[in-house]
């Protein structure tokens, strides 16, 4: 445990010593704030127009749950934004270490490969959580003035799904970073891999064949849609946790191979 904490502190320190973390977090909050504002404005205008049209026709105003729609649309946008942001967080996790030669120092220290992998992963996940937490302010401000009340179950489910999805992408991105010494190559390959996972089931949605159902199950986006509706499906949770474990396992095997090659 001490080894994991040591790596965790080291990685968090390296994130915030360099301007990368501040730039990524600032850019993320700027984009999410812009989209939240636009989504809220658009849905409020739609609700007002529907109420006016109903009043002109002598009908009661339609029951439009604006807060729920805002949360669902916003979490959907965030899931797309992190597709571009996470490669920037993970591309240097191992690639930069290998390029500078500090990876060899870590491998010869009393810290095990598993502690290195877990420490680095938890640091990246913590940084991702730091990015997400300020966006809760948007919803808290909306909750103060919203009617009907904000659906906290949908909000918490959406953020849980976002955190799990980010955890999967970080695990995959870290594994890809461990394969090369170039941050650029790691970033590009990670983004392409994410894109493939995103569109994996686009051509087979609704298919009942075993091939189509397999691709639908492997799509990270399909599992995320349940969380945006306020549904915490154990199947989706198990899928995300399994993908995280697989990414960490592959990263661990890469570090093991580095030790054997060096020996």
Arithmetic mean of pLDDT, 80-100: 83
Percent helix, strand and coil across the chain, each to the nearest 5: 80, 0, 20
Do 78 and 32 contact (CB within 8 A), yes or no? yes
The pLDDT-based confidence of 205 (bands split at 50, 70, 90) is low
What's the pTM value of the predicted model, to 2 decimals?
0.88
pLDDT of residue 247: 92
Arithmetic mean of pLDDT, 26-32: 91
Residues 6+ apart with CB under 8 A from 23: none
pLDDT of residue 58: 61
Rounded percentage of the chain residues whose pLDDT exceeds 70:
82
How is the chain split into domains, by residue range? 2-262
Q: Highest mean pLDDT: which of 31-35, 178-182, 251-255?
A: 31-35
Q: What is the mean pLDDT of the chain?
A: 81
Q: Using one digit for the tens of pLDDT, what is the confidence trace for 141-174?
A: 887 777 667 778 888 898 999 999 999 999 999 9
pLDDT of residue 234: 87
33 token code pair: 């704030």
d(CA 250, CA 94): 13
- Which of 199, 245, 242 lies closest to 222 in space, CA to CA? 199
pLDDT of residue 32: 92
């Amino acid at each position: 445990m001490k080894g994991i904490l040591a790596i965790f502190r080291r990685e968090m320190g390296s994130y915030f010593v360099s301007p990368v973390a501040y730039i990524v977090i600032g850019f993320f909050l700027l984009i999410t704030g812009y989209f939240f504002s636009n989504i809220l404005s658009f849905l409020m205008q739609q609700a007002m127009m529907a109420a006016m049209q109903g009043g002109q026709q002598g009908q009661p105003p339609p029951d439009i749950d604006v807060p729920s729609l805002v949360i669902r649309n916003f979490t959907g946008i965030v899931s797309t934004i992190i597709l571009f942001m996470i490669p920037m967080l993970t591309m240097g996790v191992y690639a930069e270490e290998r390029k500078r030669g500090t990876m060899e120092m870590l491998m010869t220290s009393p810290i095990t490969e598993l502690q290195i992998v877990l420490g680095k992963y938890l640091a990246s996940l913590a940084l991702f959580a730091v990015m997400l937490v300020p966006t809760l302010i948007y919803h808290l401000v909306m909750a103060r003035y919203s009617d009907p009340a904000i659906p906290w179950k949908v909000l918490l489910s959406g953020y849980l799904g976002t955190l799990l999805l980010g955890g999967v992408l970080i695990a995959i991105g870290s594994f890809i970073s461990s394969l090369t010494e170039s941050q650029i190559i790691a970033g590009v390959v990670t983004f392409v891999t994410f894109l493939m996972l995103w569109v994996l089931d686009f051509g087979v949605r609704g298919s009942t064949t075993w091939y189509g159902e397999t691709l639908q199950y492997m799509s990270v986006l399909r599992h995320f849609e349940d969380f945006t509706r306020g549904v915490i499906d154990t199947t989706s949770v198990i899928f995300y946790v399994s993908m995280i474990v697989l990414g960490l396992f592959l990263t661990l095997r890469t570090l093991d191979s580095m030790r054997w090659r060096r020996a």
